[in-house]
Structure 1
Amino acid sequence: MRISKSRAVRAVTAAVAVGLIATGCSSERGKDDAKGGDKDTFVFAGTGDPGSLDPALAADGETYRVTRQAFEALLKHEPGGSKLVGGLAESWEGNDAGTVWTFNLRKGVKFHDGEAFNAAAVCANYDHWFNWTGTYQTSAVSYYWQSIMGGFKNNEDPETPKPNYKSCTAKDEHTAVIEVNEASANLPGGFSLQALAIHSPKAIKEYEKQEASAKGDAITYPKYSQEAGTVAGTGPYKITDWNKGNKEVALERFDDYWGEKAKVKNLVIRTIDTPEGRRQALQAGDIDGYDLVAPADVKTLEEAGFQVPTRDVFNLFYLGMTQEANPALKKREVRQAIAHAVDRENMVKTQLPEGGKVATQFMPHTVAGHSDKVKTYAYDTNKAKQLLKDAGESALKIDFCYPTEVTRPYMPAPQDMFELMKADLEKAGITVTPKPMKWAPDYLDATEAGSCALHMLGWTGDFNDGYNFIGTWFSEYDKQWGFKDETVFTAVNAGSKEGDPAKRIEAYKKANEVIMEYLPGLPVSSSPPAIAFAKNVNPPNVSPLTQESFAEVSFK
């Protein structure tokens, strides 16, 4: 996720100059652009800072928004959709058992540092991740590797999942073969993840000279992942600077890119952490686009001539409960009380864009495996009070973490949503202690480590399979939830190795019913997030997976 400050090119200086608009006079540049001046820089506002320039160390969309422009995985999704297509692999094939995956790689591909892409490079990456040690083995750092491939060559913690990755072989220069021990519903979809995007072997050698470290819940990431200059992918843009003071990353078109070249030379991705701040910057001509438009702003922007496409629903927002962070949460009556205490209908009505829905389970209604037979928990303050009384927890006190300096597709206004849930819980007699934390890395690290009794999080699907939702959270013990229940784990995993699609979907439905009976947390809502662009922009294909490629952008 990160890099060392480096090879600043003249064009980068120009990109950074444009990027300074949030702090002063550079807004004049944006206005010149809006009038038809220099069009060599596209400035896009995200909602939070990236955590790293090495996507393998990340698990959040703000990091991936940046790295997706510079790194490519073996597979990807079709523009604007969720169908898997070739990425760095032109084609791929799995054996009948789902344990051997053969990738026919593209020829003539170069990394940003000039190294050639080939099968040996693919294997260098997978073996690098498999051989991680120390802090790299913590779930906060290697979340996606563990989710898709299990543990490591030498697990250092008994709670780390057993490794499913077996080997990678360069059959020839342009054929890589990856073997796993058991078939998984996470494959082949997992091969499309940014966390498994391919890096230059030369860069990997530099990565391996550095260590991540941890003190309590705080992770110190390696220097290479925090400054531009070391990381090298194969994408249409290369990362040239990370100006943390101005909260922006600068990228420059990679002219040796194997595919269609980026249409705009320079790309700046800036953090503007409030919806109103992003809207005002677009209206002023300081930026050319931004993500997660506040529901109330959609009509205003459209009437003014801005472009505001809406993505399809492919996310879930939930109230997480970490049982090991507060013993009271181990009682199902307490978890049920919290579920009945929260007015989710009001949340959807007041906080989400048109098309948002109350979630009945940990999977959006647009994903196959969604069940109409799950146990439901209607808003009922009196019932919540009674359940707390029955559990002997009428005077419950609980910490509630929520993120700051961020907006997510499933969570347009985190503090407002927190305040609504806090008020609901207090009506039921629960004393809430607010714990605000900066999104990256503090909040993400704390929730992954299981430090937050109650917390707000969500998920936008990585690929179109129900296991990518329920399997992400409930396939095994996870510190974020802090419970061990074999009935839940068995039900969730029942579909993960099922080859018959119809049987797999039925298994997912049953798993959703088991999960909602146990109630590890409260699914709150699903919503269609909007993204906005200036009048003079030809936008990229908008993705239900929020995987937009800014190489597709051009100016009118």
Structure 2
Amino acid sequence: MKKKVLSLILSAILATTFLVGCGGQATSTKNSTGNKTFIFAQGADPRGLDPAFVDDGESAKVICNVYEGLVSYGDDNTDVKPCLAESWDISNDGTEYTFHLKKGVKFHDGTDFNADAVIKSVQRQLPPNATDDMPYASFTFAGVNKVEALDNNTVKFTLNAPSTPFLSNLAMALAAPIVSPTALEKYNGNLNEHPVGTGPFKFVSWDKGEKVTIEKNNDYWGEKPILDKVVIKITKENSVRASELMTGSIDAMDGLDPNDVPKLKEKQINIFNEPGMNINYMAFNCERAPFNNPKLREALSYAINREDLVQYLYQGYADVAKTQLPSFIPGYKKDVTSYGYDPDKSKAMLKELGQENLNIKMITYSNPRPYNSVGGQKLAEAVQNSLSKVGVTATIDVYQWTEYKEKTQQGEGEILFYGWNGDNGDADNFLSLLDSKEIASSLNVARYSNPKVDELLAKGRKLPNGDERKALYGDLQDLLAKDAAWVPISYAKQMAASTPKIKNFTIHPTGTVFFKNIDKE
């Protein structure tokens, strides 16, 4: 057995400092006195607060503070570290993962955390229990054949085949967190409006369309939060959030519009601008005519001037995307041959295909997203203008985010706009968005299916990290570029802002925000 064990020096460290819980570094050993309320504004409501039933960043920002998983990521990276599991063993053939659970941890409702809780959290997301409204289940637990309790504090996962991303998947904010089995029974297996985890914050209330309120978990097993309360305020417009930040009615925000940055800096607002682990893209509905024809997808790809579009919309706060992978993800191929801007070729191909007067329907979202700071409507309008120059007439239907998600799941629209915030830093996390099995889960919004792509993805999951795995993902990017299910648009810089009185506020590379170590003067 290969054993990955929690560092033995931890006990020595604990003699001089507090234990760090999942999701953040210890920057202070004193907890707050008085009532410290932190108000964070984001652009859309969560879709839900049960990690099994959502796949969006707005939900994840609440979930990652209320729940925890067996493992977690580093404070500013996606390195895996212990969390509710103190250590784990991996069998020599890579198909068995045995987790040794932390003892003495309780859920917010007083239920003991133990092997039974892990089993119930996971088994509801495995066949035959998993349902179509569990979008991350097939992704997170891909290849899990069985999960069983060896004793009250030990859980073993058995996989059908080795899976390099599996351990990283268990640190994700969606699907992987462990939920209270008592709450599952009480609320009929769905905690979307009644989240109960083990995290540093407890759920208080959700006023839909307005705010989510969470409060300090005074019984938290690790170092307790500095803040007493966090309000996640829902404010659709970027500019309104920026104004609220400048007046002090909120403490921090994400989803900055580049146009607002200069005036925020004038007010001494702290601006966060880091490379983002994300992709912003336009997808063709590959199941529906006429875009079930890859040659038509190619023709329209030539019509999009991505360089000009990105510069116009994002003004230096995003980079042009060539593939599905951000450049710093292992396996990224910088010399992928994609369809560049060539409107004359686009027109010629449209004529050859008998589609000179093509009329199409595009659907998009109204609010800004972490991967698209100006919102889906502006991006769709820019693409609409580009398509008009090659004779294509496009209409645009715009929806609020939660409704938009429903429309994409229903297969509406011939062109749609979407994006992805990376969950774990692994290439599979991005490229699996084009796995045919993820059509049912709704992660594959392009509804693209190619058996060769599926074959390469399956092989890549089994390969250990290294040159062979990177080369395989390079071949996969070439294949996906040729098939043109997507037009990759941009990699957004990870942008957020906070007032000077806020300390220790950061955005994790996964796009989530851990509130535990934030302080407010």
Of 166, 169, 193, the residue aligned with 2:148 is: 169
Deviations 1:183-222 (A, max 9, x none): 2243111101222210111011124x36xxxxxxxxxxx6
- Quote the residue 1:308 is aligned against: 271
Alignment match of 1:200 (pick from 171, 180, 185): 180
Of the candidates 76, 100, 103, which is equivalent to residue 107 of structure 1?
Answer: 103
Query: Mean alpha-carbon deviation: is it higher for 76-85 or for 404-413?
Result: 404-413
2:161 counterpart of 1:182: yes
Report if the CA contact (8 A) 1:88-1:106 is conserved: yes
- Establish whether residue 263 from structure 1 lines up as the match of residue 226 from structure 2: yes
Q: 1:39 Cα shift?
A: 5.1
Whether contact under 8 Å (1:351, 1:417) holds in the other structure is: yes
Query: Could you tell me which residue of structure 1 aligns to residue 348 of structure 2?
Result: 386
Residue 320 in 1 paired to residue 283 in 2? yes
Quote how far apart the aligned CAs of 1:499 are.
Answer: 2.1
CA–CA distance in structure 1, aligned partners of residues 277 and 211 of structure 2 = 27
- Map Cα deviations across residues 301-350 of structure 1 (whole Å, 9 max, x no partner): 2232111122332111110111223x111222211121111121122212
Partner residue of 1:234?
Answer: 198
Letter in 1 for 2:95: T
Residues 366-413 of structure 1: CA deviation (Å, up to 9, x unaligned):
111111332222222222111111112112111101002343334433
1:551 aligns with 2:516: yes
Specify the SS of the correspondent of 1:146: helix
Pairs aligned (count): 484
1:489 maps to 454
Would the aligned equivalents of 1:290 and 1:531 in 2 still touch at CA under 8 Å?
Answer: yes
Conserved? CA contact 1:475–1:493, under 8 Å:
no
Match in the other structure for 1:49: 45
- 1:317 partner amino acid: N
**CA deviation map 1:484-506 (0-9, x unaligned):** 32223223333121125221111
Task: Report which stretch shifted further, 404-413 or 285-294.
Answer: 404-413
Tell me whether 447-456 or 328-337 shows the greater mean CA deviation. 447-456
- 1:76 alignment partner in structure 2: 72
Q: Which amino acid aligns with 2:167?
A: P
Q: Residue 243 of structure 1 aligns with which residue? A: 207
- Equivalent position amino acid for 1:318 in 2: Y
Counterpart secondary structure, 2:67 = coil
d(CA) in 2 for partners of 1:293, 1:355 = 10
How far apart in 1 are the matches of 2:218 and 2:438?
46
Q: Residues of 2 paired with 1:525 and 1:242: CA distance?
A: 33
Q: How does 1:289-304 map to 2 (within 5 A)?
A: 289-304=252-267
Cα contact 1:351–1:413 (8 A) shared by 2: no
**Deviation for aligned residue 1:38:** 7.5
**1:332 to 2:294 alignment:** yes
Cα separation, 2, equivalents of 1:369 and 1:506 = 7
- Identity among equivalent positions (%) equals 27
Who is 1:217 aligned against?
none
Question: Quick one: which amino acid aligns to residue 112 of structure 1?
Answer: H
Contact 1:72 1:197 in 2 (8 A): yes
> In structure 2, how many angstroms separate the alpha carbons of the residues matched to 1:268 and 1:522?
37
What amino acid does structure 2 have at the position aligned with 1:382? D
CA distance, structure 2, for counterparts of residue 167 and residue 54 of structure 1: 22
Distance 1:546 1:100 in 2: 30
1:430 corresponds to which residue? 392
Distance 1:386 1:340 in 2: 11
Partner letter of residue 41 of structure 1? Answer: T
Native 8 Å contact 1:367 1:464 kept in 2: yes
| Code of the aligned partner of 2:207 | N
What is the SS of the residue equivalent to 1:68?
helix
* Cα separation, partners in 2 of 1:97 and 1:272, compared to 1, 3 Å: same
- After TM superposition, the structure 1 stretch with the greater mean CA deviation from structure 2, 495-504 or 187-196, is 495-504
Q: 1:447 to 1:267 in 2, by over 3 A?
A: same
Give the CA RMSD over aligned residues.
2.0
Structure 1 contact 333–390 (Cα < 8 Å) conserved: no
- The amino acid across from 2:271 in the alignment is V
Q: Aligned-pair distance for 1:98?
A: 2.2
Mapped partners of 1:132, 1:295: distance in 2 = 46
Distance of 1:206 and 1:132 partners within structure 2: 22
**Map of 1:474 onto structure 2:** 435
1-side partners of 2:494 and 2:60: how far apart? 17
- 1:124-156 CA distances to partner (integer Å, 9 max, x unpaired)? 2112222665xx621xx2111011224xxxxxx
Q: Which amino acid aligns with 1:237?
A: F
1:196 aligned counterpart, secondary structure: coil
Summarize the alignment of residues 80-91 of structure 1 with structure 2, pairs less than 5 Å apart: 80-91=76-87
CA distance in 1, matches of 2:118, 2:360: 46
Paired residues of 1:328 and 1:393 also in contact (CA < 8 A): no
Work out which of the residue numbers 356, 359, 362 in structure 1 matches 2:318.
356
Distance 1:80 1:351 in 2: 28
Displacement of 1:53 = 1.5
Matched residue, 1:454: 415
CA distance in 1, matches of 2:367, 2:275: 25
What TM-score, normalized by structure 1, do the two folds share? 0.83
Secondary structure of 1:510's aligned partner? helix
Query: In 2, are the aligned partners of 1:293 and 1:529 still within 8 Å (CA)?
Result: no
Q: Does residue 370 of the first structure (1) align with residue 342 of the second (2)?
A: no
1:344 is matched by which residue type in structure 2? R
One-letter amino acid matched to 1:305: Q
5+ residue gaps, structure 2, are 1-32
Supply the distance in 1 between the matched residues of 2:319 and 2:182 (Cα, whole angstroms). Answer: 47
SS, match of residue 129 in structure 1: coil
Q: TM-score, normalised by structure 2?
A: 0.89
Q: How far apart are 1:364 and its partner, in Å?
A: 1.0
8 Å CA contact 1:477–1:484 kept in 2: the answer is: no
**CA 1:299–1:39 in 2, change beyond 3 Å: closer, same or farther?**
farther
Determine the C-alpha separation between the residues in 2 that align with 1:131 and 1:482.
Answer: 22
- Tell me if 1:40 matches 2:36: yes
Corresponding residue number in structure 1 for 2:192:
225
- Aligned-partner Cα distance in 2 for 1:422–1:368: 34
| Aligned residue among 139, 153, 157 for 1:147 | 139
